[in-house]
Amino acid sequence: MRNFVVPSLRQLLDILINRDLWKISLGQALTQAVRPRSVMAPILFGIGVEMDHVLGSVWAVGTLFDHGFSVS
């Protein structure tokens, strides 16, 4: 999953954030925001699918998508 984020962004996140999962999630969210049509971020896609299965709520998935932490 770390290979999904470009090396320069990975270096910046290594300096700013301590937790690996946070680094990967934020890196994928930023990459998805910059290239929304050409990139399908695995963590963001998984969060959207999991929230849909657990909650079954279009509103919850839509809210996560609006904040950049899900792929609808």
Look up the pTM and report it: 0.60
Whether pLDDT at 20 is above 80: yes
Asked if residue 51 is part of any domain, the answer here is yes
Structural domain includes residue 56? yes
What domain count does the chain have?
1
Query: What domain range is 54 assigned to?
Result: 2-66
Asked whether 27 and 4 are in contact (CB, 8 A), the reply is: yes
Domain membership of residue 72 (yes or no) is no
Give domain status of residue 37, yes or no: yes
In a domain, 49, yes or no: yes
pLDDT at 72: 59
On whether the CB atoms of residues 13 and 5 are closer than 8 A, the answer is yes
Work out the mean pLDDT of the chain and round it to a whole number. 77
Give domain status of residue 71, yes or no.
Answer: no
pLDDT recorded at residue 65: 76
**Residue 1 pLDDT greater than 60, yes or no:** no
